[in-house]
Structure 1
Amino acid sequence: MQSWNSYIKEYKNYLKLERGLSQNTIDNYVMDVEKLVGFLEANQLDENPVSIGEETVQQFVYRISGQVNARSQARILSGLKSFFNYLVFEDYRQTTPLELIEVPKIGRKLPDTLSVQEIDKLIAAIDLSKDEGERNRAMLETLYSCGLRVSELITLKISDLFFDEGFIKITGKGNKQRFVPISPATQKYIYLYKDQVRNHLEIQKGHEDTLFLNRRGKQLTRAMVFTIIKDLAVKINLNKTISPHTFRHSFATHLLENGADLRSIQMMLGHESITTTEVYMHLDRKHLSEVLNAYHPRK
């Protein structure tokens, strides 16, 4: 499978240098191709990226359809399409072997949201007698009040805080940067953590500018933030499956419910397409009816 490795290596460079994708996104794209390679090896099929045909890819699709759900299948096929489109783009192939393969139909997964009261309860359940309590409160307030992705939260730098102007600078997907407003209340919680807890930590080399640190003075992992949130949900007997992303969904939903326009929400979330932001529209049909009744001349 040496030929696959060399093409995958070139593909990774393309995703990084030409498309500017984050390492996390690149890893996910490559993982999809590696699943196909694993299938070829397991079945002793001697195919390379240039010669592999539709029939072999169809066999692979049939195999994974019995192993993963429709959403995961669609995700893997999307990754494979990207790889083979790259090979066509670079003139390694004339066509892609996925042209006639149908992607399983999936409905949009409706994002879970929390009410303002549930968010208040979760934050109130944080044990502030422990040093990490101040950090956790500042993190959850930032997640909710700025609508960040978990990767954006853990990589947030002190040099990204522009509190005098009322903004923080966020580096999102594909290293795209945006400025997001931050409320005075959230600024206060960040100051409390930074000045009372963080400055007593022994900060590891390379993490001096990272805002949120673990007790060893290093950047937190995504998994750690998931754990903090899940533990708080258990503590308040919240019968919902929540994650850091739930705070982001709640941020957008609550803005929409209170009359914010979709374009502004799109800019704050850092969505490239407004279609992505429109996921939140389904959550608030009542609000849309009220807007129509209040503002349409034919009401």
Structure 2
Amino acid sequence: MKWKHALKDYQLYLKIERGLSQNSIDSYSLDIQKLILFLEENTINSSPISISTEIIQQFIYEIAKQVNARSQSRLISGLRSFFNYLVFEDYRKTNPLELIESPKIGRKLPDTLTEDEIDKLITAIDLSKPQGERNRAILETLYGCGLRVSELVNLKLSDLFFDEGFIKVTGKGDKQRFVPIVPITQKYINIYRKEVRNHINIQAGFEDTLFLNRRGKQLTRAMIFTIIKQLAEKIGLKKNISPHTFRHSFATHLLQNDADLRSIQLMLGHESITTTEIYVHLDKSHLTKVVEKYHPRK
């Protein structure tokens, strides 16, 4: 079996069997492509079926010189998943990463913004330009609904159910969920639609896409990052922020205001409650308040 064939089969498995998004599939594929490149550069003639633990260790040792422990751990996890697939399909008897341990890493707590910092970022938007109204609606939606950047750029007009107070969000693995949308966020989306979007020459295929660039096409993920980075620089914000920071802030602020974890999990689209639990670590005072409020011997 050749690497190209094995990778193609694995990508199909990730899409059909595991229902992963294209971004996740690309991430897993990149791990394998790095290994293939390493073999080619070092003229090592090993197939996916014959490659040994020793060769994998050499590869990881080289990678360790270039990336941090967290990236190494993610790479090892990605390769382990690939070889588990080959074992499952009876291409191999054993997984060459069975005895390879991931580097020890601490659990990284997500960065968050204060309510004041969010207000300053939104206030810094230049509303004299057409894209200003769009950018305000984007930030309000990221923070107001806790969306991933991929969910934001793929949001459709047909996903907006303002009368019911919800939007339909398509998340990882094409899983759909309904997220409440507050009146203030609805207001800024409607202003953008009326004053900006309705005056754009929309390209074919993007008629239902909510957030568009000036050429009438869907915004890229990179463009959302750029908008946020420029606003952070404009107000002199020292934190390293991204679109995901607004999602983290959404969850953290809900928790601080006594929302329950299960509700936050549903709104964020987390498959497991353990993923949502990381927000408890950001503000342990929440745990104290819960005990003081609900424990019978308070």
TM-score range, shorter chain: over 0.9
Aligned letter for 2:292?
Answer: N
Which aligned pairs between 1:141-290 and structure 2 lie closer than 5 A? Answer: 141-290=140-289
Aligned letter for 2:173?
Answer: G
The alpha-carbon deviation at position 287 of structure 1 amounts to: 2.1
The corresponding residue for 2:21 is 22
Q: Structure 1: where are the runs of 5+ without partners?
A: none
The separation in 2 between residues aligned to 1:15 and 1:271, in whole angstroms, is: 19
Residues 32-73 of structure 1: CA distance to partner in whole angstroms, max 9, x if unpaired? 001111111111111000111111111111111121100000
Equivalent residues of 2:280, 2:286 under 8 A apart: no
Aligned letter for 2:151?
Answer: E
The alpha-carbon deviation at position 141 of structure 1 amounts to: 0.3
Residues 230-279 of structure 1: CA distance to partner in whole angstroms, max 9, x if unpaired? 11111111111111000000000000000000000000000001111111
The separation in 1 between residues aligned to 2:259 and 2:203, in whole angstroms, is: 41
The alpha-carbon deviation at position 94 of structure 1 amounts to: 1.2
TM-score (norm 1): 0.98
The separation in 2 between residues aligned to 1:229 and 1:253, in whole angstroms, is: 19
The separation in 2 between residues aligned to 1:67 and 1:298, in whole angstroms, is: 54
The separation in 1 between residues aligned to 2:232 and 2:213, in whole angstroms, is: 21
The corresponding residue for 1:12 is 11
CA RMSD of aligned residues (A): 0.9
Residues 80-118 of structure 1: CA distance to partner in whole angstroms, max 9, x if unpaired? 011101111111111110000001111111111111111
Which aligned pairs between 1:37-56 and structure 2 lie closer than 5 A? Answer: 37-56=36-55
The separation in 2 between residues aligned to 1:19 and 1:99, in whole angstroms, is: 22
The separation in 2 between residues aligned to 1:264 and 1:57, in whole angstroms, is: 42
User: Once superposed, which parts of structure 1, at least 4 consecutive aligned residues long, lie more than 2 Å away?
Assistant: none
Identical-pair percentage:
72
Aligned letter for 2:24?
Answer: T
The separation in 2 between residues aligned to 1:153 and 1:162, in whole angstroms, is: 15
The separation in 1 between residues aligned to 2:8 and 2:150, in whole angstroms, is: 25
Corresponding residue pairs, total:
298
The separation in 1 between residues aligned to 2:286 and 2:92, in whole angstroms, is: 50
**SS of equivalent residue, structure 1 residue 34:** helix
Aligned letter for 2:27?
Answer: N
Residues 4-46 of structure 1: CA distance to partner in whole angstroms, max 9, x if unpaired? 0011111111111221111111111000001111111111111
Aligned letter for 2:243?
Answer: P
The separation in 2 between residues aligned to 1:6 and 1:49, in whole angstroms, is: 10
The separation in 2 between residues aligned to 1:298 and 1:107, in whole angstroms, is: 35
The separation in 2 between residues aligned to 1:111 and 1:23, in whole angstroms, is: 24
